[in-house]
Chains A and B, each alone.
Chain A
């Protein structure tokens, strides 16, 4: 009972922070204040809120769950790849978008795309695809909250109630506090999770008799020793995961957070600290997930191991429903919480449970981003603000926050996929395929709106095709693959237990490469924007004709 009480006190505190931000905004209701915190976020809040919004439930529950089933490969697959790619993207593209946002007053990435490529409706198409891809990411947060609350309360709070509580708290502080409330809450949550996550790691390790003994014991058992290697993930699949972190710079909520920094130097500190923060969160999560395989004295974990063994055993008489039920039972998403229950003192379990809630409740910035995008890219673009005024824009943004949260809640109750695969296969892969939009807009003078449209339609189509494929072709049993399309002995398309593989690579890699090719070919075949527009974004090319007139007189020279 005590742990869940501590968690509810924490949730109340988080809600208060959002309302506190609302009260201290000085009565201003303009869009830039509500949606971007007045572009005045300081260095510490910028780092922690940007990092917090990137690391959702999937970083904690999903990574431990993935490590529980696949071993130490989880860290290299997602954490160390992100440690390189995301900070480089922040230094390269984040700084430039920040500067463009300041100069031209952009609040969303679509505003920049519309201006850069002189387009209107194509921007609306980009908005629609971005919004559709963002929903799974929001759902992850709600699902993570429901899973965590159910586990922390030992099943007293049902999943649907847990999801509802998290959705209502997040909706509350986003509704009242806007970006200022969201950034403050994210900063508190990230700080809390960094601190208590480390504590949880050591307390559980001590409870299990020391990680040294646990891993030495695992080495003695061939099945468990395999989890201390990366043999459960093929090298090609591992390589293709380097493309997943490109999604960070294409996520609208990440771009919108980039626009909130008070100074550009905030990016420097953030880029340097990012790999360190990643290590602090992902290393304990991975180790705890792997070590959970040895915690057979925890009944809930023992049941998961039995379900996994039943799935792996040859059992042709298992129905699809039975197989699905076993897969759900074998899911490792709540193993960290189960370890906490078993090994930590009850008061600490409550505090650490609140820390876990802090990490999983990061769907706030995605909800706010969707609201910002809708009001700016649709309402304002189609003259809504001109007709109804700026105050109505903020009111509409708040109404949209309520609507999006309600939809995410309903979807969270109906979606069966586990957190990790849901995140990587739909949200992350789709946004990684959209990342050429950002780089082309910022760095390639010759890019065109038709190239952008081709990339957007391809990304949406590819995600839809993967979703359809995985729904139509049931996953094979663990440890096997189902070859769907093979040419001359080459397996072009395979259905794996966790998803899909194209030539052995995760779908994200061909998706990104095709996006790059489409942007290049279609842009070269179509007419570029006017010289005046290009000159506002790029330094004039040497030996070319001089820059055209610019509304503010200077080129940004990105």
Chain B
């Protein structure tokens, strides 16, 4: 049990910060946020500091990809909906310790982008413990990818998809098969004789067609038009991940089938083709238009500490610093259906709490002083 005293609380339930204390219970939940809370327990002094929710990274591969190991790209065929990132993650990876030091308390961990359909993703906390203890939502999405990654992967073997035409076909064809599979199951009405043969890959697509989870699509520039067209056609939700060039397509991205846009990370200058536009201004542009938007690390492709830097670049391009903090907390939590647990500081939520020297999406030199997950202090500067 702790009381975090006298901090400037960016709760994400209010648009402006306020001075308050936070009571953290032994259950690992926030018990109260308010003035002058006292309790017989350890006091953490946050006077003069910013108290913010644990950061949520909406697109990451930490624990599943390292220099010598690759457990999130099953590139033996272009569509592998049947696999599940749950089995590709090493919960003891050092990357989770790095995440804690960088304030990332929750990540959406997903298959890579080598395949058009990559498999299921899940939401997992960074705290030590078994994978089963730490997963807070599984599945949370079905990963898909467009553009140069799947093209590059299969062009080597002269196998479809070598083109964007092939990618659009494979995406659509998979969703068609899932729909027909569901129809057959429904027609069978529980009669084992009439049931279609069990197909795990198609089973994994059912929650997508039922709009329980989105298709999470690695998408740059003009590919987002293709993705939204397919989303409308099958009436499914999609998230547009990476999303470089999103500022060219506001009219497309405001469609209700777009659950969210997850921008970044930047890890290069401009380069021809899908790397041809880098537009942090889309964060404000989408936010102003009511589209849920966040940024990502894509960890460990870029380092975990860059989540804040990218939110900072969105601020440089006009976004309010508190909205930028909301992007990497509540917006991401909502996109991941995890907002009942994480993303804001309010009674009943997981006590995933950070103390910074100052608002980190505004003040560049603001250091992280403490990371708490589930009411346990896991890092102190």
Is B truly associated with A?
no
Where the two chains meet, the residues of B that have a C-beta atom closer than 8 Å to any C-beta of A are: none
Where the two chains meet, the residues of A that have a C-beta atom closer than 8 Å to any C-beta of B are: none
